[in-house]
Amino acid sequence: MFNGIIPENCPWYNKPPHSLGTIEEYKMFFNVYFITLKFLHETFFNFKCKSLLMPTLRLSFRRKEKEPPKRTAVFEIIKKGSREEFLGEETYRTLSKRLSQEFEPPEGWIEVESYPVHGRFVISSIHILYNEENNEFIYHVNEPMLSDEETEIVRKIISRLEYYAANPKEIGDKVGTLKKKIDSILEAYRVKLEGSDYFRVLYHIFKQTLLYGKITPIMYDPMIEDISCNGYGKHIYVFHRKYTNLRTNIIFEDPDELDSFVVNLAQKCGKHISVAEPMVDA
């Protein structure tokens, strides 16, 4: 605290200017002046005034550490619970939302809009991208990537499923039957997939078997009204309710891949297609 001492050698110690009023008012003003002066000098010029006794003022500024982003509760629980508990659509909605948030546009493209697309066993997100140089919008399908090991697991399981003879009683529940068979094959190979790894593998297997192959995310997008393909080696086009005609990043690389897709799609619709009857009325 200030001890109330004013330097006596001050020329106006007992003779304050008329504008300051009484001696007491002058002393109060002068004390405040010296307190302020000492603070400024000690702070910026390391100047010490022996006439004043003041405590040292210490200021400490600390940058608040950023808290790590909170992970969705589903991801924390998914590792502890059984797989059966997380086969609901909420799990796939959460995984698709996370996939959408982690997407980074290719160089030269700007993301205009993005949204997750999900369903039972479906994990994907859609990104509308814009290229300023070409003045072009595209429809980019984003799917969960597999490691080399997981890709080999998917290939082996699908290969085993080709020789699986289904019980006629099980045909009614294709999804449940296929999932049980996948789990049994994983167990036979002694493969342990935990957390989201299991659901990513499951998605790619269902995508190539019961679902719609490469166009699965498009089929689950409620904003799409039409899908067109003009042959192999060419981009698939879609008609988007908001952005109209858009080129996608999906391509059937060779004629065999496209022919196989067309045959499988016709079979899913309960139709027959062949060289003799190449047209199918959907």
Averaged over successive runs of 10 residues, the pLDDT of the chain (282 residues) comes to 50 49 54 53 47 40 43 45 59 91 95 94 96 96 95 93 66 79 90 86 94 95 96 96 97 93 86 79 67
pLDDT at site 53? 42
pLDDT at site 66? 43
pLDDT at site 14? 53
> 3: which residues sit within 8 A by CB, 6+ positions away?
52, 53
Instruction: State pTM to two decimals.
Output: 0.68
Assess if residue 68 is contained within a domain: no
Assess if residue 262 is contained within a domain: no
Which structural domain range is residue 4 located in? 1-63
Q: Environment class of residue 81 by beta-carbon count within 10 Å: exposed (0-12), middle (13-18) or buried (19+)?
A: exposed
Residue 178: CATH number of its domain: 3.30.450.380
Which amino acid does the sequence have at 274? Answer: S
Do 50 and 158 fall into the same domain? no
φ, ψ of residue 169 in degrees (nearest 5): -70, -20
Number of domains in the chain: 2
Assess if residue 72 is contained within a domain: no
φ, ψ of residue 176 in degrees (nearest 5): -65, -40
Q: Residue 164 to residues 150, 169, 176, 185, 252: CA-CA distances in angstroms?
A: 21, 14, 15, 11, 27
Do 149 and 35 fall into the same domain? no
